[in-house]
Amino acid sequence: MFQGFYGLLTVMLCVLCVIVVTLFNLAPITYIVFGVTILLSLLLQYIRFKKQSISEKRHTQLAWCLNIAFTLSFSWLIGDWFKYDLQTSLDQFDSFEYSTKDWNQGWPNSEELPEGLKRPEKLPEGIYNASAFRSSLAWANAYPERYTVLEGDPKVIAQYEAIAKQNAAYTAQIDADGVLRDLDTGEKKRFISHPNSYNIIESIEEESLNLPQRNFIEWLRFAPRKETKTVVKDTYNSTRNHRLYVFVDDGNTKRPHFVELLISNDGTRAVFYQSK
């Protein structure tokens, strides 16, 4: 029954359907479009080659009409997906929380970091947890920030600290009381730009969304897409008991810009931090 060029198109359409359904979580209208097109294509093949009820010319015309209709419908579906996903992304932009897989999104601008501390393609072995945060860069946000927290083998963290010691503009110790002191002399510092705290992402899980009631058309277009969201559980951490290595500090007290590395006293955590 799958004879000629249009039979090949029918087979390719079935393969495309399987690939799309396997790779994506699709709305009901997508299955309807694929299902109706495949069934009509099979019907045309059956009428032409089994029943011999229509001529080859008529079969070609109907097949082309069917393929054009499918192409237009599928193009509309793709456009609808992009529009919906883009709007959803824009709505969530200001409060987006990064997962542990997105550690590089929080890494400071590489051009402001010395060699050896620039953002790598992949993390070295010995780092067992990495999490990141990046706030919105919208103009209304007075103090945007971004940072990546790495936790792992003290030997690996020590390699970052060794590079920081050689390249930092100045260093300090943040003691248990949050007081800034000179790293070598212990002398109390009056002021150094640095964050007060950061969060470490501990776990990520999916939970169902309480979506607003949808009408039938909305259900066809979007359900079951976007039915779950990623919930990030994090732990609040102050910057106390950290060694501080500052690479860039523009000296602006109203809207400070600084790039620095914090190393925990136990040597198991490194925080690459950038403000503004």
Average pLDDT, the chain: 80
Range 51-78 average pLDDT: 80
Q: Which residue has the higher pLDDT, 207 or 165?
A: 165
Tell me the C-alpha to C-alpha distance, in Å, between residue 175 and each of 82, 241, 266, 268. Answer: 50, 5, 13, 17
pLDDT at residue 88, as a whole number: 61
Q: Which residues pair with 171 in a beta bridge?
A: 245
Q: Which residue has the higher pLDDT, 11 or 92?
A: 11
- Best-predicted range by mean pLDDT (134-138, 190-194, 239-243): 239-243
DSSP conformation letters of 197-226:
EEEEEEEEEEEE--PPP--HHHHHHHTTTT
Range 68-76 average pLDDT: 85
The token pair that represents 31 in the structure block: 């299955």
Q: Dihedral sign, CA of 85, 90, 96, 98?
A: positive
What are φ and ψ of residue 213, in 5° steps? -60, 130
pLDDT at residue 95, as a whole number: 44
Range 134-138 average pLDDT: 65
Count helices and strands in the chain by DSSP H and E runs: 5, 9
pLDDT at residue 98, as a whole number: 47
Instruction: Please report, in angstroms and rounded to a whole number, the separation of the first and last CA atoms in the chain.
Output: 65
- Contacts (Cβ under 8 Å, ≥6 apart) of 241: 174, 175, 176, 264, 265
Range 123-151 average pLDDT: 79
**Predicted confidence (pLDDT) per residue in 184-230, tens digit:** 888 888 777 788 888 887 777 777 666 666 677 777 777 655 556 67
Range 15-30 average pLDDT: 76
Q: How far is CA 37 from the centre of its chain?
A: 34
Three-state SS at 262: strand
pLDDT grade for 162, boundaries at 50, 70 and 90: very high
Q: Which residue has the higher pLDDT, 57 or 48?
A: 57
- Contacts (Cβ under 8 Å, ≥6 apart) of 71: none
pLDDT grade for 271, boundaries at 50, 70 and 90: very high
Tell me the C-alpha to C-alpha distance, in Å, between residue 87 and each of 126, 196, 255. Answer: 39, 34, 31
Q: Which residues pair with 15 in a beta bridge?
A: none
pLDDT at residue 166, as a whole number: 94
